[in-house]
A and B are shown apart, each in its own frame.
Chain A
Amino acid sequence: MTRLLDIQGLSVTFGGLHALHDLNFHVDEGEIVGVIGPNGAGKTTFFNMISGMVTPTSGEILFEGESMIGLDPNQVTQRGIARTFQNVRLFANMTILENVMVSQHCRTKQGVWGSLFNTPGFQREEREIREHAEKVLGFFGTRLVGYRLEQPASVLSYANRRRLEIARAMATKPKLILLDEPVAGMNPKESAELTGLIGKLRSEWGFTIVMIEHDMNVVRDVSDRVVCLDHGETLAQGSFEEVSSDPNVIEAYLGRPLEKS
């Protein structure tokens, strides 16, 4: 398998705090990688860094062999990395359809002239944007289509907002999707369903996925490989069973047993 994302010796400090320290990480094409770790372990910072929202202090991020250091978030998305946010950040007052249409911005190119003169190119592109948007929304069954298309995102239930966020990331036509706690706040039934969909994101759409998740059932069911972070460092890597039985990981989550004196 070819290496899609390769991260070498990545560090970032905020003042004196090492949010990430000398992190090595890689994702192969077609993999689903779960990232776990206690709160404050640096998982979201890790995502922010890949997506260009935070610049690392040192280290290298290679995507398809090219360095991503110093790129703006929009350039990162252009290269093919899309993400969702832990605290759902939809464009709340835009309609559901618009939310998904707008994220195709970097894959389309019509500008002022096209829209002013309503050129054939403009019309074709608008049609394609809409079709792609509906196709992406259709991935989640009937929930986000039909009458819902024209509703503002703010009326959606919490689970549907999460789904729409994923749809919005899918619409950017990425190679790699970063999911930040995709099932947080969902009930067991919803998260089981979404777990299935994450699998389909790979099998049907061909996306490679890196996912931060606290729900161990989801991590176990869907990940090929699991990485555990704590205090900005890699604690363990490997299959779910290996990582979940690693003493360091158990210690990070549960604390050390009292030593007998």
Chain B
Amino acid sequence: MTAIDPGTATEPAPIEKGAFDFDWNEAARRGGILALALAFVALTGMPNGLNDRLLIDPILSLGYLSLLWLPFAFGWLSGNEKVLEGMARTKRGLRDVVRGDVIGFVGGLGLSLLVILINAFDLRDPLVNWSPQTLAVLQFDRGQGFGIIAWPILGAILGAAGASLHLLPQRIRRATLAALATVLVFAIFETFIVDLFDFTEDLLYENQGGLKILWAIILFVVAFGASIGGAGRKVGQVRTNYQQATGSAKTTQTALYIFLASVAMIVIPMFTGKITQELLANIGIFLLLALGLNIVVGLAGILDLGYVAFFAVGGYTTAVLTSPNRGEDWPEWFPTMPWWGALMVTIVVAALVGLFIGAPVIRMRGDYLAIVTLGFGEIIRILFLSDWLNGYFNGAQGITNVPPADFGFAQVKGTDPRSVFYLVLVFAAISIYVSWRLERSRLGRAWMAIREDESVAEAMGINTVNVKLMAFVVGAVLASFSGAIFAAKVGSIFPTSFLILVSIIILVVVIVGGMGNIIGVIVGAAVLIGVLGGPKQPGLLAEFSEYKLLIYGALLIVMMLQRPEGLVPNVRRSRELHQEEFLQDAWLKGEVDDAKADGDEPNGGPEGALA
């Protein structure tokens, strides 16, 4: 058996094909999918609901963008043909453009059909957005005929534009995409940018919102120029440097970046407006939760779908111990204490609740465990809501008047989001340190072993029940930090703050960010909570709040299909998910010779993959 060296294999010359020589069935199929996607978006009400939110005044609104990006993306994707290794790829050319064109056209026809249907029938009863308003947007306010003709043309143009990106040289393509992204970021995150830099309000944006056309062009050109000038490559260079560094150099660099990040985190909120501070505080609160869940799910592999229970316990314990409105049935001697005192009690209570819930649950595995934790998550919320404990937790009225956290030199309260953020920062640092230390300890190794193969871990002498329980308790304590801060921030605690949705969103943060990786979890929290928003907290895309769950769901599906290891993957995790590719690489890189040197059979190849 001779190993194939991937480096020396030469690629056959690309084949030239005529402009109409492509798989028409496939193109029609994709066009059909595009049509369905467009009609779906149109009927969610996004185009109509977000039409008043101008991005670039007066030509583009967020509502139209929600439709227009689809043909563009489909056009681009149509150019990604699968090429088997060693086979010739097709030369890029007019063919790609024509195909993108066809797909966009068919997709546009779908919207034309929708325009006709909305005009002809009234389906408002089941479909709320089957309305004249949607119709007006779809027809560009110019009547049925215009709408019917415009969409196929628009779709064809955008599909062709998306596909023709493949024709550009790589550098120019990147620059174009970077420039487009820059303009969109400035347009979509208007409130945030104005909050960050006051002066931009009059300079960049129109009064009624939306970038001025002139500035949209200027931003495009500047970003394009910067990208051509190599800004992207310099960032890439720093990253490669870091990845290639080893030993003490790596430690120094890591320390430097951590230091820079901490300084940035401390300094930035001093100069920003309330909106940004509020946003950062929310990200922080969910980051704390995600870090805790990361230990439970990411390290120990216990799929806990009721994690919100510990958040609730943290919030309620703090509220009961600090608020004068805590319910009438508490005995006289029951103390009221300052926030930091309550925090200590909260930690103990959360750990106990973790033990109490964990003890019965932890003996189960896999799906069963997930379902039971889901149940416990709801039970805790319903207990706080119940009449039975009404005298203690005030049921649906919740506990109000939770005082701010008073540290003498500073007060942490919801009206001052910056103070909340700093408090969160301290606890995030603690949580990160805890995760980091535990991952590299005896306990962390045991968690990993359990995640890999629980029966074998047990046979190797690990008391799986105790070790898993420990993960549960550590996770519970980290979540209770978040609950305690949440209570002080909001100033009141209601059962509705602890819906099952919170559990799910935290889980999505961990999955999308990268399970088992602290940096990944931070990125996940910043991207999801920062951009989309928490269950009730608005993010940068406040306009999308109505469609938040739709977007969360869509994002989760796309991530699971395209990048199941998350945005910033954990090395092990990504190995696990790409086992075959990884083994094949290792094999091609000369594992064979390695094995021969040992005098062994070279059977460590892909066919010998561990189950």
Residues of chain A whose beta carbon lies under 8 Å from any beta carbon of chain B: 51-53, 72-74, 77-78, 82-83, 85, 87-94, 98, 101-108, 110-112, 114-116, 118, 122, 125-126, 129, 143, 152-161, 168-169, 172, 185-187, 189-190, 193
The verdict on A85 contacting B448 (CB below 8 Å), with A157-B598, A158-B603, A190-B601 known, is no
Contact of B461 (CB < 8 Å), options: A105, A115, A129, A154: A105
**A141 to B, closest residue via Cβ:** B598
The verdict on A102 contacting B437 (CB below 8 Å), with A158-B604, A158-B608 known, is no
CA distance A108 to B467 in the complex (A): 13
* Interface stretch (choices B134-142, B392-400, B451-459, B506-514): B451-459
Please give the distance in Å from B602's CB to the nearest CB on chain A. 7
Contact of A102 (CB < 8 Å), options: B433, B445, B602: B445
* Interface stretch (choices B382-390, B494-502, B578-586): B578-586
The verdict on A159 contacting B601 (CB below 8 Å), with A93-B576, A102-B445, A129-B442 known, is yes
A-B contact pairs, 28 of them (CB 8 A): A72-B463, A73-B455, A74-B458, A74-B464, A77-B459, A77-B461, A89-B456, A90-B610, A91-B453, A91-B456, A92-B579, A93-B573, A102-B445, A105-B445, A105-B461, A115-B440, A115-B444, A116-B437, A122-B441, A126-B441, A154-B579, A157-B591, A157-B594, A158-B603, A160-B598, A168-B460, A169-B460, A193-B599
Q: How large is the interface on B (under 10, 10 to 19, 20 to 34, 35 or more residues)?
A: 35 or more
Instruction: Report yes or no: B462 in contact with A115, Cβ–Cβ below 8 A.
Output: no
Instruction: Report yes or no: A92 in contact with B601, Cβ–Cβ below 8 A.
Output: no
**B462 to A, closest residue via Cβ:** A105
Residues of A within 8 A of B598 (CB): 143, 157, 159-160
Instruction: Report yes or no: A154 in contact with B470, Cβ–Cβ below 8 A.
Output: no
The verdict on A108 contacting B442 (CB below 8 Å), with A154-B582, A190-B601 known, is yes
Instruction: Report yes or no: B460 in contact with A105, Cβ–Cβ below 8 A.
Output: yes
- For residue B611, CB closer than 8 A to chain A, the reply is yes
Residues of B within 8 A of A153 (CB): 610
Instruction: Report yes or no: B599 in contact with A190, Cβ–Cβ below 8 A.
Output: yes
CA distance A185 to B601 in the complex (A): 9
CA distance A104 to B457 in the complex (A): 11
Residues of B within 8 A of A156 (CB): 604
Most chain B CB within 10 A, of A51, A53, A112, is at: A112
Instruction: Report yes or no: B575 in contact with A152, Cβ–Cβ below 8 A.
Output: yes
CA distance A85 to B453 in the complex (A): 12
Instruction: Report yes or no: B441 in contact with A110, Cβ–Cβ below 8 A.
Output: yes
Residues of A within 8 A of B458 (CB): 72-74
- For residue B29, CB closer than 8 A to chain A, the reply is no
CA distance A46 to B458 in the complex (A): 18
- For residue B19, CB closer than 8 A to chain A, the reply is no
Please give the distance in Å from A92's CB to the nearest CB on chain B. 4
Instruction: Report yes or no: A111 in contact with B443, Cβ–Cβ below 8 A.
Output: yes
Please give the distance in Å from B524's CB to the nearest CB on chain A. 21
**B459 to A, closest residue via Cβ:** A73
Contact of A115 (CB < 8 Å), options: B443, B449, B600, B604: B443
- For residue B36, CB closer than 8 A to chain A, the reply is no
**A190 to B, closest residue via Cβ:** B600
Residues of B within 8 A of A168 (CB): 460
- For residue B116, CB closer than 8 A to chain A, the reply is no
**B464 to A, closest residue via Cβ:** A74
Residues of A within 8 A of B599 (CB): 189-190, 193
Instruction: Report yes or no: A51 in contact with B459, Cβ–Cβ below 8 A.
Output: yes
Contact of A93 (CB < 8 Å), options: B441, B575, B586: B575
In B541-593, the 8 Å CB interface with A consists of 572-573, 575-576, 579, 582-583, 586, 591
A90-B610, A91-B457 given; 5 more Cβ-contact pairs under 8 Å: A102-B445, A102-B446, A103-B460, A105-B460, A115-B444
- For residue B609, CB closer than 8 A to chain A, the reply is yes
Which 5 residue pairs are nearest across A and B when measured between Cβ atoms? A106-B461, A115-B441, A77-B461, A157-B604, A91-B452
Residues of B within 8 A of A73 (CB): 455, 458-459
Please give the distance in Å from A142's CB to the nearest CB on chain B. 8
Residues of A within 8 A of B474 (CB): 112
Residues of A within 8 A of B459 (CB): 51-53, 73-74, 77, 83
CA distance A72 to B466 in the complex (A): 13
Residues of B within 8 A of A83 (CB): 459
CA distance A246 to B441 in the complex (A): 53
**B434 to A, closest residue via Cβ:** A116
Instruction: Report yes or no: A91 in contact with B448, Cβ–Cβ below 8 A.
Output: yes
Residues of B within 8 A of A152 (CB): 572, 575
CA distance A169 to B459 in the complex (A): 9
The verdict on A85 contacting B456 (CB below 8 Å), with A115-B442, A157-B601 known, is yes
Instruction: Report yes or no: A101 in contact with B445, Cβ–Cβ below 8 A.
Output: yes
**B585 to A, closest residue via Cβ:** A155
- For residue B231, CB closer than 8 A to chain A, the reply is no
Residues of B within 8 A of A187 (CB): 600-601
CA distance A125 to B437 in the complex (A): 15
Residues of B within 8 A of A98 (CB): 445, 448
Most chain A CB within 10 A, of B441, B448, B591, is at: B441
The verdict on A154 contacting B460 (CB below 8 Å), with A112-B474, A190-B599 known, is no
Residues of B within 8 A of A102 (CB): 445-446, 448-449, 457, 460, 462
CA distance A185 to B603 in the complex (A): 10
Instruction: Report yes or no: B610 in contact with A88, Cβ–Cβ below 8 A.
Output: yes
Residues of A within 8 A of B457 (CB): 91, 102
Instruction: Report yes or no: B441 in contact with A92, Cβ–Cβ below 8 A.
Output: no
Residues of A within 8 A of B576 (CB): 92-93
Most chain A CB within 10 A, of B572, B583, B598, B599, is at: B598
Please give the distance in Å from B156's CB to the nearest CB on chain A. 48
In B467-505, the 8 Å CB interface with A consists of 470, 474
CA distance A160 to B595 in the complex (A): 9
